[in-house]
């Protein structure tokens, strides 16, 4: 999105978080209050303000080795940092943020979805991360959304797309329609999970930050994205499940709210993140890092740096074009493993 104003009307889901499941270390949120309007401006601060913060640390942005990054103050709609922020590239499982957003507009949280063998096979054959679902289990949409967002379950996202498309093709059409309505002009989804087969689609760091802002404006998605651990007790309909959030910022970086991690060979290590600092909500995205933990370290530095700028007198923009010595692209050695012992496609 270019500097200037774009008004986005965002419909939030009319749903409540029902009892019967256990949320550990998450943010308790009240029931949806209804529909709300979100205005997204992302206006860069005047160039004259760049580097005027007191102290050298405030004037110098952190080094970002990833291919692309973006940070903005959602409270004032001011861009704080950008590095190839409008370059189109794969975003891996950050795709699932849109999947969850669409599901919340198509389903009720208490709807029951039956897991099929095809859902389980989808994750297994693509060597993707899953939520350990089994064919024959029946879970609520609410539970499956946690399965999508926390462990980044491709089985859970496949089940939801199958039911609420119905089918991948129709569901992806709904995802792209939502992207257009939200003004995500440089985003195209090809599937509900961001896996590279047959195509993972593309987006930009800036578009994904805009989407994260919208998602966090939905109370259900805010609660899910900021939950560190979620337990589904065993019932007659399903086994017990416990899912841990792959976002290592939660519980460590001050005020962190989520949002989503992602990884594929093509996309590299990705992260959509947000935190509330001094009455401001900072939202950022990192795309294409070549090291799994560095994205969390970089995000922490960006949040701290951004927090210093909004709390002091420095409110300028850093384009970030000169930061970072690495491009974040994977060479052949890195392409063989994710460095964590995890799946080669999906999330890490």
What is the CB neighbour count within 10 angstroms for residue 162?
Answer: 21
| Residue environment code for 80-104, b if the CB has 16+ CB neighbours within 10 A, otherwise e | bbbbbbeeebbbbbbbbbbbbbbbb
Q: CA-to-CA distance for 253 and 255, rounded, in angstroms?
A: 6
- Contact assessment for residue 109 and residue 18, using Cβ atoms and an 8 Å cutoff: yes
Category of 288 on φ-ψ map: left (φ > 0), alpha (ψ -120 to 50) or beta:
left
| Neighbouring-strand partners of residue 244 | 229
2, 37, 69, 97, 183 from 6: Cα distances, Å: 9, 12, 21, 21, 8
Query: Of the listed 121, 132, 152, 236, which one is catalytic?
Result: 152
DSSP designation for 186: T
Query: Of the listed 83, 96, 248, 343, which one is catalytic?
Result: 96
Number of H helices, E strands in the chain: 9, 13
| Active site (annotated) includes residue 345 | no
- Contact assessment for residue 92 and residue 347, using Cβ atoms and an 8 Å cutoff: yes
Query: Of the listed 93, 203, 290, 345, which one is catalytic?
Result: 93
Q: Which residues, in sequence order, are CB contacts of 152 under 8 Å at separation 6+?
A: 93, 96, 129, 246, 260, 261, 262, 346, 347
| Active site (annotated) includes residue 152 | yes
| Active site (annotated) includes residue 60 | no
Q: CA-to-CA distance for 231 and 244, rounded, in angstroms?
A: 9
Residue 212 phi, psi dihedral angles, 5° rounding: -60, -40
Give strand ranges (E) for the chain: 6-10, 22-24, 36-40, 43-44, 68-73, 78-83, 112-114, 138-140, 229-232, 241-244, 256-264, 268-277, 280-289
Catalytic residues: 93, 96, 152
């Amino acid at each position: 999105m270019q500097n200037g104003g774009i008004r986005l009307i965002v419909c939030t889901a009319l749903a409540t978080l029902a009892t019967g499941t256990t949320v550990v270390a998450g943010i308790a949120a009240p029931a949806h209050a209804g529909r709300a309007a979100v205005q997204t401006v992302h206006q860069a601060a005047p160039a004259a303000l760049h580097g005027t913060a007191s102290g050298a640390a405030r004037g110098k942005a952190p080094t970002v080795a990833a291919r692309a990054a973006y940070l903005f103050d959602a409270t004032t709609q001011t861009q704080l940092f950008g590095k190839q922020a409008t370059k189109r590239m794969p975003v891996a499982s950050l795709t699932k943020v849109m999947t969850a957003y669409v599901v919340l507009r198509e389903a009720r949280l208490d709807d029951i979805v039956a897991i099929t063998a095809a859902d389980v096979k989808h994750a297994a054959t693509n060597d993707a991360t899953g939520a350990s679902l089994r064919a024959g289990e029946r879970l609520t949409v609410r539970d499956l959304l946690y399965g999508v967002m926390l462990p980044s379950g491709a089985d859970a996202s496949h089940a939801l797309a199958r039911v609420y498309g119905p089918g991948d093709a129709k569901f992806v059409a709904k995802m792209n329609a939502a992207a257009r309505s939200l003004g995500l002009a440089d985003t195209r989804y090809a599937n509900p999970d961001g896996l590279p087969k047959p195509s993972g689609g593309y987006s930009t760091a800036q578009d994904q930050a805009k989407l994260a802002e919208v998602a966090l404006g939905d109370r259900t998605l805010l609660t899910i994205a900021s939950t560190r651990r979620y337990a589904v007790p065993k019932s007659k309909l399903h086994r017990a499940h416990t899912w841990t959030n792959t976002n290592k910022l939660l519980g460590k970086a001050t005020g962190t709210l989520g949002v989503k991690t992602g990884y594929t060979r093509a996309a590299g290590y990705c992260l959509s993140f947000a935190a509330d600092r001094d009455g401001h909500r900072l939202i950022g995205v990192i795309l294409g890092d070549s090291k799994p933990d560095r994205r969390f370290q970089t995000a922490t530095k960006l949040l701290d740096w951004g927090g210093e700028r909004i709390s002091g007198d420095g409110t300028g923009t850093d384009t970030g074009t000169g930061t970072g010595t690495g491009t974040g692209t994977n060479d052949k050695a890195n392409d063989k493993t994710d460095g964590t012992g995890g799946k080669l496609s999906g999330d890490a």
